[in-house]
Structure 1
Amino acid sequence: MTQAIRIDEETGLKVFNTRAAKASEKIAGKGYSIISDDALKTLPEPPAGAVFNAQEQAKYRAYKEERRGAADYMSMEGEFSRYLEDVYSGPRIEREALTDECEILIIGAGFAGLLLWHKLKSAGFTDIRFCEKGGDVGGTWY
């Protein structure tokens, strides 16, 4: 029996021998590939006259480190904690863990998950399962 995952001895990369691994052959976009063109891996030369001194770099580094992303805008505690709740869901239903297998598991049934499902189904995959914590599919727009 052929292994589902093996390490390529030449490149050290994982090689997947599954139908899901072959999905990129059927779906536009073709997935990831190793970049061998050094021109695509290096930054261009700075424009003439561009000067970035240590003091300026330190200023921008400090500015960046002060930012915490969405946490800068509001705390999701107190009166705003209600926005973390899924108002369309009923009480959580405890279920036994699934023990069967599926070929493809999509984590999240939001817009991107549904789009991925559509592309995989169009490519001929049928054994697809979603894992969604919300009360319904569709993400923030349901």
Structure 2
Amino acid sequence: MRCPFCGNIDTQVKDSRPAEDHVAIRRRRLCPACGGRFTTYERVQLRDLVVVKTNGRREEFDRDKLERSIRIALQKRPVEPERMDQMISGIVRRLESLGDTDIPSKVIGEIVMESLARIDTVAYVRFASVYKNFQAADDFDKFVSELRPQTSPEGE
């Protein structure tokens, strides 16, 4: 592993332990050349996924991009970082287990919305507003009204 401080290729692992609910390995590393310390994470990757965009363009699946969009949706919400990491790992595992390496972006968006809906309604609406490309306040109103439980008027 290359040292991020000096670029030395020969770094030493000082400590390894499970991280993120045992789906990753956290390694503390030391660079003997400059004395810099840094942390790396290793995750199991079952297969290389390719995202097929709605316009037909294809790009390599990027876990960091998925994480950024979920973090934006959950910004300032009362969700623990560990819960968010578990959700992201669960989404990636689910995508990898679909059986195909080409995943339509629509499928990814639906899985993310389903996962967000289970942990935070506000984050779900935030993500959906971008994913579904809301253009006006009426779009929000219609979407949120579908979330509200249907109650019958009293006395019927």
TM-score exceeds 0.5:
no
Q: Decide which structure has the larger Cα Rg and report it.
A: 1
Richer in strand (by share): 2
TM superposition score normalised by structure 2: 0.20
| Higher normalized helix content (fraction of residues) | 2
Greater relative contact order, per chain length (Cα 8 Å cut-off, separation 6+) = 1
Task: Provide TM-score, normalisation by structure 1.
Answer: 0.21
